[in-house]
Amino acid sequence: MAFEGLADRLQNTIQKIRGKGKVNEADVKEMMREVRLALLEADVNFKVVKEFVKKVSERAVGQEVMKSLTPGQQVIKVVKEELTALMGGEESKIAVASRPPTVIMMVGLQGAGKTTTTGKLANLLRKKYNRNPMLVAADIYRPAAIKQLETLGKQLSMPVFSLGDQVSPVEIAKQAIAKAKEEHHDYVLIDTAGRLHVDEALMGELKDIKELTKPDEIFLVVDAMTGQDAVNVAQSFNEQLGLTGVVLTKLDGDTRGGAALSIRSVTQTPIKFVGLGEKMDAIESFHPERMASRILGMGDVLTLIEKAQANVDEEKAKELEKKMRTASFTFDDFLEQLGQVRNMGPLDELLKMMPGANKIKGLNNLQIDEKQISHVEAIIKSMTKEEKTHPEIITANRRKRIAKGSGTSVPEVNRLLKQFEDMKKMMKQMSNMQQKGKKKGGLKLPFNPFQ
Amino acid sequence: MSFFKRLKEKITKQTDTVTEKFKDGLTKTRDNFSSKVNDLVARYRKVDEDFFEELEEILIQADVGFDTVMELIDELKMEVKRKNIQDPAEVQGVISEKLVEIYNSGNEASSELNIQETGLTVILFVGVNGVGKTTTIGKLAHKFKSEGKKVVLAAGDTFRAGAIEQLEVWGERVGVDVIKQDAGSDPAAVMFDAIQAAKSRNTDILLCDTAGRLQNKVNLMKELEKVKRVIEREIPGAPHEVLLVLDATTGQNAMIQAKTFKEATNVSGIVLTKLDGTAKGGIVLAIRNELHIPVKFVGLGEKMDDLQEFDAEQYVYGLFADLVEKEELEEQ
């Protein structure tokens, strides 16, 4: 996940000040020197760093912190608030035109990920907002760019408007909107060619498209790995076109994400979405506060809960909870639960949203091998019905058969059986605790997203 | 004679268009960098903490690697202390000296491509998404073709929508064959096919495209290792070059990219793309200093012949041209 390097450095710095009963100016100065370096190393624009350090320092040595009982905690709170403010404060929404279609123009440098993002965004509009978008292939310069959008459209079963690469992008945009009205599409996403912000001719073309289509949103697509130049690019596009939002891509890499922290504060343009992978559903709304929380190692439980709610069937979860309580949990249930968790996304990403998870030794560089989970699934699927409900009947011979059937080894089967046994024991203990707890006023299961 | 003067004399002797192209392409980098150093020196009366902090920022702004900057500043501070320098103007000389030192400290790996005298030369291209791998291959194919070589392209990006078609368009433009399979097929299998085809067609150079991948995706990096293994197995000594394509606008992450790709595929050289649009490219210094991978080509524009062989001396000169001229003025 992006930001990790930055998060590590900031958290180490913060650790030093957290428990302090007294914080003086020298402490703050020392800390801010570290913060400054951490931000610079993360590609945050140097002007933004300067401003940020100044603001935090002022507030940190001010009354609100020095007078408090836990000044160390207060300093961290100030850092978090300013970090959130830097990234834009509130989550921002996508526009809806009063008279459809809503027109969205995608612009940016070459290779930022405009075409992929156009596909993802359309997919999100349909899945999350129940919209009926149309894609427009207006990149007539890069070889096969139109083909790329058409392929994505096919994958998503979504219409793509194209007139080939011999018609001007302005004309394509014009005809596309007429067509969208005719076919009652409520969103039109125009994928434009990548261009340098200093290329006057091509920037002029974008201005023409804007003039003609009167877009409700102009999104600048920015590669999250961009260095100090990110703000210049954003500023230049903003001055020439008037951006309404930024989409940051490739945030699933290990970039420290300085661009994310700089762009908003320099251009006053909010970051609206982030791209987190190559698949068509790897896009999320951008939440500044949650991001700040993640950077400072406070976890992102909200996103985790949202993911759980979107992917876990509530009825089934309740049933599962009951089974856990009565300890009648079987391998079938286990399989089902595994499937639901997997639907939420890569496990290592999920783990990193847990508060304090990055402080657990070894977890930081953990790459959970999704293959291993497939092995577990294969083992369970190689069991008979009876074995799944009554694992105690699994003898040595049966273990051999299961290992063979699942293409794994006997030790692997043994390990899973042992783990399952331990899990059941733990559930029993927990439900006992809960029963006792209920009499004394309720103690809940440690993790249940619906409570 | 100062280092810069020697450099200048050497370069002005090469009175070809390449130098001009380099100068033009690097105008933004140079303007930003050396004019800022000049400005800094003019504004300060004394060399103090603030002076160094600003210098740090100028270097960081040029995307010179973070560790390299820190190292440089530390050395400068020591030098200033040792020589008891007070006047900022005196520091300027030390700054350029140190930068060049850093540049030269990268071992003298050749920036020339390892092209086989006889038989097939295989060049594998790797890098993250959107850096310009396919475009670079197109441009290089054009270059080799116009040198009279027989070129074949391997469409190893079977993942991204439209990637195969993109390479095919380049193949048509340049007039070379493209070996491909369906989208979604195993890239290692494409390489196998391409090598067999290249051998039977008496090809001089095989350029292998691969899908862009972020360096922290372990499985995708393993796939790349496999692709390389297949090539190694089919032709002993191949791939003769593994070129990492880097986007010049990338910040500190470029260092991590270079490091991880080097571990996975033993990168032999770097192609730095989009250098024309950026004020940066300072990362070249860091990569050379810390990772010892030579830059072999730079992309200075979108036209077919805008891919230039990298000349370290021209690059350094391009970066410091203003400083050199200033030095001369002062001497007169």
Q: What is the pLDDT of residue A357?
A: 55
Tell me which residues of chain B, numbers 168 to 207, contact chain A at a CB-CB cutoff of 8 Å: 168-170, 173, 183
Distance CA A216, CA A187 (A): 10
Per-residue confidence (pLDDT) for residue B57, from 0 to 100: 82
Report the alpha-carbon distance of residue B193 to residue B102 in Å, rounded. 43
Q: What is the predicted pLDDT for the residue at A438? A: 47
> What is the overall mean pLDDT for chain B?
81
What lies within 8 Å, CB to CB, of A277 at 6+ separation is A252
Nearest to A46 among B61, B130, B249 (CB): B61
Average pLDDT, chain A: 81
What's the pLDDT tens digit per position in B22-69? 666 665 555 667 777 778 888 888 888 888 888 888 888 777 778 888
Write down the pTM of the prediction: 0.76
Mean pLDDT of B241-257: 88
A148 pLDDT tier (thresholds 50, 70, 90): very high
Q: What is the dihedral of CA A273, A278, A281, A286, to 10 degrees?
A: -20
Q: What is the mean pLDDT of residues A3-9?
A: 72
As a whole-number percent, the residues of chain A with pLDDT over 90 amount to 27
Nearest-Cα distance to chain A for B109, in Å, is 27
pLDDT given at position A442:
37
CA angle B293, B252, A243 (to 5 degrees): 130
A350-364, A424-438, B225-239, B281-295: the lowest-pLDDT one: A350-364
Task: Please give the structure tokens belonging to residue B195.
Answer: 């090598």
SS3 B295: strand
Contact A267, A235 (CB under 8 A): yes
Q: What are A333-344's pLDDT values in tens digits?
A: 888 777 777 776
How far is B266 from chain A, CA to nearest CA, in Å?
A: 20
pLDDT at A427 over 80: no
Residues B274-303: pLDDT tens digits? 887 665 567 777 777 777 888 888 888 777
Tell me: the pLDDT tens digits for A262-305?
A: 888 888 888 999 998 888 989 988 888 877 777 776 666 666 66
- Overall average pLDDT of the A349-376 stretch: 62
Percent of chain B whose predicted confidence (pLDDT) is above 90: 31
What confidence tens digit (pLDDT) does each residue in A381-399 have? 889 888 888 888 888 889 9
Instruction: Give B252's contacts in chain A (Cβ within 8 Å).
Output: 41-43, 227, 256, 258
Mean pLDDT of B211-229: 89
pLDDT in tens, B116-173: 888 899 999 999 999 999 999 999 999 999 999 999 999 999 999 889 999 999 999 9
Residue B283 and residue A227: Cβ atoms within 8 Å? yes
Residues of B in contact with A226 (CB under 8 A): 249-251
Q: Is B274–A110 a contact, with Cβ atoms under 8 angstroms apart?
A: yes
Extract the runs of DSSP E, i.e. beta strands, from B224-274: 241-247, 269-273
Angle at B121 between CA B119 and CA B123, to 5 degrees: 170
Helix, strand, or coil here: A157? coil
Q: Is A231 exposed, middle or buried (0-12, 13-18, 19+ CB in 10 A)?
A: buried
Cβ distance A253 to B128 less than 8 Å, yes or no, reads yes
Report the complex ipTM: 0.79
Residues in a beta bridge with B31: none
pLDDT tops 90 at residue A192: yes
Residue A90 has pLDDT above 50, yes or no: yes
- Better-scored residue on pLDDT, A65 or A137: A137
Mutant choice from A39, A41, A155, A229 vs B, greatest count of B C-beta within 10 A = A229
Do you find a cis peptide bond into B187, omega within 30 degrees of 0? no
The confidence score (pLDDT) of residue A439 equals 44
A132 touches chain B (CB under 8 A): no
- H or E segment and range at residue A41: helix A25-41
User: Residue B120: which of B270, B239, B296 has the closest Cα?
Assistant: B239
Q: What is the pLDDT of residue B127?
A: 94
Residue B197's pLDDT is 92
